[in-house]
């Protein structure tokens, strides 16, 4: 993997959470996914490249 960023979410941000659906061969779904539609509520912590 390359270019991985980590973020913190500002307090009070609305986060939607649910189960991922299957999306084809090798992508079985069922894991928890989270969604935030307001990128201004994210605080970037660090970025790593070329892992």
pLDDT tens by residue, 1-51: 678 889 999 999 999 999 999 998 888 899 999 999 999 999 988 877 775
What pLDDT was estimated at residue 2?
Answer: 74
What pLDDT was estimated at residue 1?
Answer: 61
Dihedrals φ, ψ of 47, to 5°?
-130, 135
What pLDDT was estimated at residue 51?
Answer: 59
What pLDDT was estimated at residue 19?
Answer: 95
Against a cut of 0.85, is the pTM above it? Answer: no
41 burial via Cβ count (<10 Å: 0-12, 13-18, 19+): middle
Residue located via tokens 């490249």: 49
What 3-state DSSP class applies to 31? coil
């Amino acid at each position: 993997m390359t270019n991985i960023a980590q973020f913190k979410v500002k307090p009070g941000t609305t986060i939607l959470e649910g189960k991922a659906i299957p999306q084809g061969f090798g992508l079985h779904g069922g894991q928890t996914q989270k969604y935030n539609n307001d990128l201004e509520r994210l605080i970037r912590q660090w970025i790593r490249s070329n892992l």
